[in-house]
A and B are shown apart, each in its own frame.
Chain A
Amino acid sequence: MSSHPHFLWKDLFQTDTHDKNLSSILQNTALFKTLTPRELSYLSSIVYERIYQPHETVFQQNDRGIGMYIVAQGRVAVKSQSPSGDILITILGQGSFFGEIALVDPENLRSATVESIERSTLIGFFKPDLLAIMQSKPEMSVKILLQLSTILGRRLMETTDKLSELASKVRESA
């Protein structure tokens, strides 16, 4: 993924080199780092590559979502809607991923809004494909789900730490 595709339909006519690039991007993502090259090659054949223009919305908070995105190129802003306006939570760059809760949440409601800051290439991995992997390649799905639960667990711990920090700050100020 050395340069942005310029032609409107470039993503329709991909070559082997492109697939190798895609595999290497997927391998560098925490969720898929335990997969074998063969499994990565299979995964790169089922994920979707989407190109977003600057300020184009990837998804809105409370939208029904069905999968996660990996930032292959560019940057995206994660925002949360509040009565006082949008709050910028973070900015994600190349190699980061978001929306992974939709892979396991049965109600699939997005918890934040994501918008591309610049022209970005995102790789989408969706729940129906994860379910298909669980059926046809159970070993591969176990690896993905284990990584997914580790990531979700770690994010929960980080959130708990942040909350404790905030709570102690509030107590101190009171």
Chain B
Amino acid sequence: MDRNRLKLLILAIALILLVGLFIVTPGILEPALLACMFATMLEPGVIWAERQGTSRRHALILFFTLGFALFSLISAFCIVRISSEWHALRSLSYLKQADATLSTWDEWIHGILPFLPPFANTLQDIQKTLLAQTPTFFTSGFLWLLLTPAFTFMLLDDGSRFLRLLFNMVPNPYFETSFAITRSVLFSIASYIRAKILEAFLVGLMVSLGLIIMQVPYALVLGMIAGCTNIVPYLGPLLGVLPVFIIALVDTRFHNWSIASVYLLANCIDMFIIFPIVVAKLVRLHPLLILSSVALGQKYGGLLGMILSVPLASTCKILLEACFEALYVPKKLKKPRLTPPEPLLQEQKNMT
């Protein structure tokens, strides 16, 4: 067999084994994805530390020590309140009560709009659909706490070495192209993740602060949900309002326009200020394409699929662009001249 073909075959087997490892052991997929997210967020900080003359490993040890200290501090102050709010929310079983309220409206609504499906258990069905394909998403907390920091550290410390190992397997004729495309894809995904997390954090912070000022119960949990759901493009803001809508069906304390105005204001600031500045420049995809990819992500991967849909669509776009460039764009492009234009050269010739 030709040497390059053999290398290509071994590379393909290595990649299949790597993907297979995550499929066979789904328990490590979620911490690995989370680790990728954390590594992406920490990378600029590590680069900054490297600029100051610190070695990468020392910078990582410093960041992880500070990170654990900060996590413990936040846990001490916020986790107690967040967990009590969460338990209070769960104990009141708003979802069942809201579904019951909707069921009582069924007859009246179907009198006016007979084509609509029955409302009984609609909200519980939505919840089941959203979380159906991500059953372990919020359950295996201990494994996550153990694996995520370890994976993050390894990715930041050894990620480039691992990539080099993969690139060393690539046959010579495809090396430069695969290197350029992979770097471009990784850069695009990392920038998108950073931008989306910053956006989600700001939206969550605005909603939490707004609800705390309005003295609304469960302010921190609702703010966190608004922030987390904001990661899902376009549908995220609607998903973030859903818990408030469900609670408002049952709890009269939530029959208040100021709560709606907090969400509206936070989403307007996001839509008109944060998104155009932070995210839009990075995702050069048509809104229709983004919505389609989110819908496909939801169908095949639930909540996780919705979150990962845009980076995957972005990767496909880069690959297609590279193929298009290689196949259709003429290689000899006209470059602007740096040397004197022809008439000036003619003038010089006449002078001599």
Contact = CB atoms under 8 A, between A and B. Distances in A.
Contact of A65 (B6, B176, B187): B176
B254 interface: no
B331 interface: yes
Q: How large is the interface on B (under 10, 10 to 19, 20 to 34, 35 or more residues)?
A: 20 to 34
Interface stretch (B124-132, B165-173, B215-223, B281-289): B165-173
Nearest to B187: A128
B47 A136 contact: yes
A170 interface: no
B8 to A, nearest CB: 13
B175 interface: yes
A46 B160 contact: yes
Contact of A107 (B7, B50, B335): B335
User: Looking at chain A's contact residues, is the secondary structure mostly helix, strand, loop, or mixed?
Assistant: mixed
A58 B175 CA distance: 10
Interface stretch (A29-37, A47-55, A146-154): A47-55
B333 A50 contact: no
Interface string A9-25: 10110000000000000
Given A67-B176, A128-B180, A137-B51, A62 B332 contact: yes
A138 B47 CA distance: 11
Contacts of A59: 176
A92 interface: no
B164 A8 contact: no
A82 interface: no
Contact of A56 (B7, B172, B335): B172
Interface string B85-117: 000000000000000000000000000000000
B179 interface: yes
A11 B166 CA distance: 12
Contacts of A107: 333, 335
B180 A136 contact: no
Contacts of B331: 62-64, 109
A12 B165 contact: yes
A9 B47 CA distance: 32
A124 B333 CA distance: 25
A123 interface: no
A126 B333 contact: no
A66 B180 contact: yes
B172 A8 contact: no
Given A8-B6, A59-B176, A66-B180, A137 B50 contact: yes
A3 interface: no
Contacts of B167: 48
Which residue of A53, A67, A107, A136 has the most chain B CB atoms within 10 A of its CB atom?
A136
Nearest to A58: B172
B161 to A, nearest CB: 8
Given A53-B3, A59-B176, A128-B183, A136 B50 contact: yes
Interface string B327-346: 00001110100000000000
A109 B179 contact: no
Contacts of A9: 168-169
Contact of B51 (A46, A124, A136): A136
Which residue of A62, A64, A107, A138 has the most chain B CB atoms within 10 A of its CB atom?
A64
B333 A109 contact: yes
Nearest to B332: A62
B183 to A, nearest CB: 4
B164 A48 contact: yes
Contacts of A57: 173
A138 B165 contact: no
A84 interface: no
B179 A66 contact: yes
Contact of B168 (A12, A53, A56, A135): A12
A15 B231 CA distance: 43
Nearest to A122: B172
Interface string B140-181: 000000000000000000001100110111001101100110
Given A126-B176, A126-B179, 17 more contacts: A8-B7, A48-B164, A48-B168, A48-B179, A57-B173, A62-B331, A62-B332, A63-B176, A66-B179, A67-B176, A107-B335, A109-B331, A109-B333, A124-B175, A136-B47, A136-B50, A137-B50
The 7 A-B pairs with the shortest beta carbon distances in the complex, nearest first, are A136-B50, A128-B183, A62-B331, A136-B47, A66-B180, A12-B168, A135-B47
5 contacts: A8-B6, A46-B164, A48-B167, A109-B331, A137-B51
